Amino acid sequence: MEPLEPPTPARRRRVLPVLGWAFIVLLALLLVVPLVWPVPDVPDAVEAADLAGPDSRFVEVGGVTYHYVRFGEGEPAVIFLHGFGASTFSWRDILPDIAERRQVVAFDRPAFGLTDRPLRGEWEGPNPYGLTAQADNTVALMDELRIGQAVLVGHSAGGAVAVLAAARHPDRISGLVLEAPAILAGGGTPSWIRPLLATPQARRIGPLLVRRILSGETGGDLVRAAWADPSAVTDAVIAGYRAPLAIRDWDKALWELTIAPRPDAPADALGLIECPVLVVAGTEDGAVPYEDSVRVAEILGARLATFEETGHLPHEERPERFSTELYRFLDELETGFPS
């Protein structure tokens, strides 16, 4: 067989323009097609009010209508901030118990539950999906509910919001309970990729990807994976997590949360915390490593409550033990911590 001859200069001059045009056409398709591709709405979408329960309440804070539940009385109130993908439903086994002796409030963070889901251009002032705005709006919610002092119980990403709220408003926060706090690893979308995810193309495709991941069987698998024993997750629990996925624009709002700015790093705020802190962590946590929670407790000089054979959701997997640890912390706030 005769060896192939190298391409002649004339042939190269013919091939290179073709490759160049092929690249330009491909790039144009990538840029244009997402903008014209039809994006279907959420099937059979409903409004948040359609899913409200008998204890549901709504209040406007920072231009956003927040959904919350409130039980009991007295101060400091205990305010619960759920993690990513959750809602007030996540605290279902904790609120009735704590409300027997304390005032408790749980609310849905923006992009979750029944709280309003404004889209780009629909809000004034700070981006309500940003952690800093969420921290400030937590205290603004306290103002609306006429709560002077509160203990914040923050799970996972809710723990990051709680830390920022305590750092920015130390006069209003009496104590922190940080459960599997998503703080040291940074959490959220890396800053370098957010500009790409905020392009018009990504804003159209992203919600579809989010919808595909969370609304199908994969969404249920993610909930089960958060437990040390996935078989303990009932169909009722999966249904409770999925219920808000029927709300109009939930997927678009979740994308807004994904690309929201994070100017204040929760890890940097740890050095500003002045109030007492309890850290709760499961040894089998696959989302926030147990070692991260240990490190947060060390940085803050906080007591660490270790839940053996427990995953990312101690308050759901071991609700009685969680209530006991929370009551112990609340009692110590009143009577003083052992030396």
pLDDT by position in tens, the chain (length 339) = 555 555 555 544 444 444 444 444 444 434 444 445 556 666 678 899 899 999 999 999 989 999 999 999 999 999 999 999 999 999 999 999 999 999 999 999 999 999 999 988 888 889 999 999 999 999 999 999 999 999 999 999 999 999 999 999 999 999 999 999 999 975 556 666 666 766 776 777 777 777 777 766 666 788 999 999 999 999 999 999 999 999 988 988 998 898 887 767 899 999 999 999 999 999 999 999 999 999 999 999 999 999 999 999 999 999 999 999 999 999 999 887 776
Q: How far is CA 33 from the centre of its chain?
A: 31
Domains delineated in the chain: 48-335 (3.40.50.1820)
Helix, strand, coil tally for the chain in percent (to 5): 45, 15, 40
Give pTM, 2 decimals.
Answer: 0.86
Q: Is the peptide bond before 195 cis (omega within 30 degrees of 0)?
A: no
Dist CA 252 CA 215 (whole Å)? 13
Name the pairing type of β-strands 150-155 and 173-179.
parallel
pLDDT digits (tens, 9 = 90+) for 218-266: 667 889 999 999 999 999 999 999 999 999 889 889 988 988 877 678 9
Structure tokens at 178: 């940080």
Give the number of other Cβ atoms within 10 Å of residue 32's Cβ.
11
Residue pair 141/66 in contact by the 8 Å Cβ criterion: yes
Dist CA 200 CA 32 (whole Å)? 10
